[in-house]
Amino acid sequence: MISNLRRSVPSRLGLVITFGLAALAMIYLSYSLPRLLPGDFVTTMYSSSNVTLTAEQEAALRAYYTEEPGFGHYLVKLFRLDWGFSYAFLTPISTLFFSALPWTLLLLGTANVISMIIGFVSGVEAAWRPNSRLEKGMVGGMTIIEGIPEISTGVILLVVFALKLQWFPAAGGETAYAELSLYAWFADVGHHLALPLATLVLAYFPGNFLLTRNSMMMVIKAPFVTTARAKGLCARRVRYGHAARNALLPLVTRFGLRLAFMVTGALVVETIFSYPGLGTVLFNAIQVRDVPVIQAIVLVSSLMVLMIILGLEVVYRMIDPRIANAH
């Protein structure tokens, strides 16, 4: 135990420094990359409107919007938690961001959790019956579904269930301007959530299934699984307590990375279903070259990747004790 602690202090310090440097690099990238986008806010805003700008006006506007605050200024603002104003909406970016965030969390969080659970359980069960018709059929089917991009699943679901059958609303996160009781509001939100959620689950869970099944196939051949069976343990305990527990690691990695890309990940699906999440905000901001908004979202999502990787380190140690002792 003592040697364990002794080893971990410098290694933890190293970890903090590494992650700090990575965060700094990401802040710089979030500052510089959106500026490299071709086109600018003034052109996109006024080229499509009826307002005709004189040359001086245009020059003045352009000078205002392309003003270079400098990276130092950007950093200082960042530490003051002052994210600035959106060019297009003229509202503080934080307002814009935090009004969209819950919708994204709801959609992607649910999609990830559901697809992880379904993928894991189906993967474990399929791997437990190697070469059976069920397993072969599932692997084939999942590989095909995995190949369909979410943009086509989304459109198909939209056309079939929203436009043709009209079982589900085609757009939005809730019915606008409706005065609803809490219960009815939940139902309404769920109703709106169904199609984008289904699209995302269909996009995510075949990957989870295939990953789980593959790592399970490795694990079920391990001697300790045979030993567990020999101990006369019930099938569920052998399958999940012994085998699947060891097949969990790759899936956790995948889950973590999915969470990290949550902020931007649903861009396509949110756009198709006009869902009021961060993806839609980002999509609109890019269209009008609303640089401060792009910067904010890029920054938040990249920092989230970092934080989740850091979190995964902790989770790994809990799942697999061998990692804690690895050099």
Partner 1 sequence: MSLEIKDLNVIYQDGIHCVQALEDVSLTVAPGKCLALVGESGSGKTTVAKACMGLLPSNAARQGQIKLDRQRIDQLGESLLNEIRWERIGMVFQHGAANLNPVHQIINQVAEPLIQHRSLSRREAHALAGEALVQMGLKEGYHSRYPHQLSGGEAQRALLAMAMILDPELIILDEPTSALDALSKSFVTGSINRAKERGKAILLITHDLELVVHVAETVAFLYLGQIMETMPARDIFTQPLHPYTLALGRSYPAMNTTRDLGGIRGDAFYRFVHQHGHNDEAGYRHSHIQVPLSSHKDGHAPPTGCLFQNRCTQTIERCRTEKVDLEAIGDHTVRCIRHGIANLLELKGVSKKYENTVAINAMDLTIKCGEVFCLVGETGSGKTTLAMIAAGVIKPESGSRVFDGRDMDEWMHKGYPSLATQVGVIYQNPAESVSHRFSVFDIVAEALKIHGLSQSREEMHTRVTKALADVHLSTDPAFLGRYAHELNMGAIQRVCLARALVLGPSFLVADEPTSSLDPSVQAKVLKLLLDLQIEMGLTMFFVTHDIGLARKIGDRIGVMLSGRLVETGPAHLILSSPYHRYTQLLIDSVSGISHGSFQPGSDPVEPGGCPFATRCPRATDLCRLTNPQLLERDHRQVACHFPLTSRHPG
Q: Summarize as ranges the residues that interact with partner 1 (CB under 8 A).
A: 222-224, 226-235, 237, 242, 245-246, 319-322, 325
Nearer of residues 193 and 238 to partner 1, judged by Cβ: 238
Q: DSSP readout, 278-302? A: HHHHHHHHHHTT-HHHHHHHHHHHH
CB of 232 to partner 1, least distance (A): 4
- CA–CA dist 13, 306 (Å, integer): 16
How far CA 188 is from CA of 97, 176, 199, in Å, comes to 23, 10, 18
CB of 4 to partner 1, least distance (A): 10
- Residues 6 or more apart whose CB falls under 8 angstroms from that of 247 comprise 123, 124, 127, 212, 215, 216, 218, 219
What the block records as the tokens of 163 is: 């436009």
Nearer of residues 80 and 322 to partner 1, judged by Cβ: 322
Nearer of residues 10 and 223 to partner 1, judged by Cβ: 223
CB of 5 to partner 1, least distance (A): 16
CB of 230 to partner 1, least distance (A): 5
Nearer of residues 162 and 319 to partner 1, judged by Cβ: 319
275-305 residues labelled b (16+ CB within 10 A) or e (exposed): bbbbbbbbebbbebbbbbbbbbbbbbbbbbb
CB of 132 to partner 1, least distance (A): 10
CB of 120 to partner 1, least distance (A): 16
Nearer of residues 66 and 226 to partner 1, judged by Cβ: 226
- CA–CA dist 123, 115 (Å, integer): 11
CB of 121 to partner 1, least distance (A): 19
DSSP 8-state assignment for residue 231 = T
Q: DSSP readout, 132-188? A: SHHHHHHHHHHHHHHHS-HHHHHHHHIIIIIIIS--S-SS-SS-TT----HHHHHHH
Nearer of residues 7 and 245 to partner 1, judged by Cβ: 245
Burial of 214 (0-12, 13-18, 19+ CB in 10 A): middle
CB of 129 to partner 1, least distance (A): 10
3-state secondary structure 1-32: CHHHHHHHHHHHHHHHHHHHHHHHHHHHHHHH
CB of 259 to partner 1, least distance (A): 23
Q: Residue 92: helix, strand or coil by DSSP?
A: strand
- CA–CA dist 107, 305 (Å, integer): 18
- CA–CA dist 275, 103 (Å, integer): 8
Nearer of residues 91 and 227 to partner 1, judged by Cβ: 227
Nearer of residues 92 and 250 to partner 1, judged by Cβ: 250
Nearer of residues 38 and 321 to partner 1, judged by Cβ: 321
